[in-house]
């Protein structure tokens, strides 16, 4: 992609060919020239859209009416495609549908550059893009879905009326949420079974002679798997081109800033040190710890030991709420020596890892407390472990017992288990927050255990201190943005870059 002060216009035929369809797999990168200003605007707007998708995903059930309505509203406000046709391409007010699709295409590839750098960034970017793709695919008409499949070499065809009648009983018995009446009204796709192994494994489809028959509401599973695979491979290839991109002094500051923006608040900054005493931890664990940290604290008190995964997850959380290195060493030592570890063994085998966690040993990396996504998606617990997300990794019956032990009401437990069944783990944790704090609506989108703690302390009357804790990382982000802007100016980047990064800072501090 080249970036010049003026964009070369494509002729009408090529425009129609490139953006004549409502949805794409982003297989071909854009080849036109765009201005640096347009580059910046497109990148920030798409990041706002993806951040909205992340927040909606932990506030509402995905694909629910509220979720779809709010995502459509945000897409419209940011001038991204939000309808599956091009009826408004001649609109006199605002950009045409073609221009929205062009923006969608280019902005996707810009964020690939920013989010291909690390595994965490790739994981976050893929998840939000997959959710956006699902929303758009489900909005297509049946004919458009079939056209999309064929256009992308997914040669799946719908079965005819006669074949549907012949297989009626089989389709009803094997397909979830399908009855004899609904079979007549919906399309079924005939797909090679190797392309639908997840559905076969879950026994959600009828299998015959090497083909599965998939109801239209489930074909999205196949398409999403294909999209996720393609995007994952594409990000790996993009990472190889990073040295050439970073050599452009105009782009590097913006791309670096974009790649850090999704994280939101930085809970690793130790400006709230000393606000939590060791004597308060037991009390706080019952009032303000999320369930994942509460179970780790309880396991530590019961067993006087945690394995490495638990020590990392809980230790970084405690660091984030304000424990100093000295307090952390005292806390872990006092607990471990109550078990089978004496003080000498603790100093030799465990103290180093705690200092390492605080950036005082090894590479001097100042580790960040784990986000909900990291806890849910990485390093699942095995037998004898206590880390992980209890809503994701606990057996439903065991989770029910834990919630009963913590005096969650039977109706509340049912609501939580229903969310867990639908794999809405962060929503389940947010519901746990509302039930244990006796509030109707938490009024925030939960994505971090330390965020849970801060919001709990606000609600319980700790607002003043917590406010200072929140302000500090924001000031650090602003200082970081200022340093990035200075570097950009020194590299002869435009003043517009400074304005855009400041706008980005403002958005994510408020998000």
In terms of DSSP bridges, do strands 211-215 and 206-208 run parallel, antiparallel, or are they unpaired? Answer: antiparallel
389 is in an annotated binding site: yes
| CA distance linking residue 145 with residue 22, whole number of Å | 10
| CA distance linking residue 31 with residue 33, whole number of Å | 7
Please count the CA atoms within 13 angstroms of the CA of 114 that sit on its side-chain side: 26
| CA distance linking residue 189 with residue 204, whole number of Å | 13
179 contacts 172 by C-beta, under 8 angstroms: yes
CA distances from 331 to 319, 468, 469 (A): 11, 25, 22
What is the token pair recorded at 12? Answer: 């009408």
> H or E segment at 144?
helix 142-151
Question: Residue 458: how many CB atoms within 10 A of its CB?
Answer: 17
Which stretches of 358-448 are DSSP H helices? 372-377, 390-393, 396-405, 410-421, 425-437
Question: Residue 87: how many CB atoms within 10 A of its CB?
Answer: 9
| Terminal Cα distance for the chain, rounded | 31
What is the token pair recorded at 157? Answer: 């065809």
372 is in an annotated binding site: yes
CA distances from 138 to 185, 197, 214 (A): 17, 21, 15
CA 380 from chain centre, in angstroms, equals 17
CA 435 from chain centre, in angstroms, equals 24
278 contacts 264 by C-beta, under 8 angstroms: no
| Helix/strand/coil percentages in the chain, nearest 5 | 65, 5, 30
106 contacts 81 by C-beta, under 8 angstroms: no
| CA distance linking residue 240 with residue 212, whole number of Å | 38
429 is in an annotated binding site: yes
Secondary structure of residue 341 in the 3-state scheme: coil
| CA distance linking residue 311 with residue 331, whole number of Å | 12
Question: Residue 353: how many CB atoms within 10 A of its CB?
Answer: 15
Q: With b meaning 16 or more CB within 10 Å and e meaning fewer, what string describes 129-164?
A: bbbbbbbbbebbeeebbbebbeebebebebbeeeeb
| Residue ranges at the known binding site for [4Fe-4S] cluster | 292, 372, 389, 429
| Residue ranges at the known binding site | 292, 372, 389, 429
């Amino acid at each position: 992609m080249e970036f010049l002060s003026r964009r070369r216009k494509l002729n009408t035929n090529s425009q129609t060919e490139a953006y004549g369809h409502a949805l794409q797999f982003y297989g071909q990168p854009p080849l036109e020239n765009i201005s640096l200003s347009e580059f910046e605007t497109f990148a920030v707007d798409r990041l706002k859209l993806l951040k909205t998708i992340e927040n909606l995903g932990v506030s509402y059930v995905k694909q629910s009416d509220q979720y779809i309505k709010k995502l459509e509203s945000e897409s419209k406000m940011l001038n991204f495609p939000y309808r599956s046709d091009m009826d408004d391409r001649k609109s006199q007010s605002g950009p045409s549908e073609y221009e929205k699709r062009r923006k969608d295409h280019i902005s996707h590839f810009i964020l690939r550059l920013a989010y291909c750098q690390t595994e965490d960034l790739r994981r976050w970017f893929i998840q939000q893009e997959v959710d956006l793709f699902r929303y758009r695919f489900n909005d297509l008409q049946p004919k458009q879905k079939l056209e999309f499949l064929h256009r992308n070499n997914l040669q799946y065809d719908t079965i005819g009326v006669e074949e549907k009648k012949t297989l009626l009983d089989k389709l009803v018995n094997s397909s979830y949420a399908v009855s004899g009446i609904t079979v007549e009204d919906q399309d079924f796709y005939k797909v090679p079974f190797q392309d639908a192994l997840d559905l076969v494994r879950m026994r959600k489809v009828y299998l015959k002679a090497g083909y599965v028959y998939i109801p239209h509401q489930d074909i999205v599973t196949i398409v999403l798997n294909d999209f996720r695979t393609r995007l994952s491979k594409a990000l790996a290839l993009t990472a190889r081109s990073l040295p050439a991109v970073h050599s452009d002094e105009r782009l590097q500051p913006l791309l670096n800033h974009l790649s850090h923006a999704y994280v939101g608040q930085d809970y690793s900054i130790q400006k709230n040190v000393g606000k939590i005493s060791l004597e308060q931890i037991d009390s706080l664990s019952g009032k303000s710890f999320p369930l994942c940290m509460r179970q780790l604290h309880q396991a530590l008190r019961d067993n006087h030991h945690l394995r490495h995964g638990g020590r990392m997850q809980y230790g970084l959380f405690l660091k984030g709420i304000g424990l100093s290195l000295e307090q952390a060493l005292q806390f872990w030592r006092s607990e471990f020596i109550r078990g089978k570890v004496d003080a000498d063994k603790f100093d030799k085998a465990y103290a180093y890892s705690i200092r390492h966690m605080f950036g005082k040993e090894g590479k001097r990396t100042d580790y960040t407390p784990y986000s909900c996504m990291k806890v849910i998606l990485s390093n699942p617990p095995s037998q004898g472990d206590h880390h992980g997300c209890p809503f994701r990794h606990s057996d439903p019956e065991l989770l029910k017992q834990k919630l009963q032990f913590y005096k969650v009401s039977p109706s509340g437990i049912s609501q939580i288990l229903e969310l867990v069944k639908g794999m809405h783990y962060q929503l389940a944790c947010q519901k746990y927050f509302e039930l244990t704090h006796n509030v109707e609506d938490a009024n925030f989108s939960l994505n971090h255990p330390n965020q849970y703690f801060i919001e709990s302390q606000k609600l319980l009357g700790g607002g003043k201190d917590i406010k200072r804790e929140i302000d500090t990382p924001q000031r650090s982000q602003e200082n970081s943005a200022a340093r990035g802007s200075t570097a950009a100016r020194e590299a002869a980047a435009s003043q517009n870059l400074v304005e855009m990064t400041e706008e980005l800072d403002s958005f994510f501090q408020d998000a």
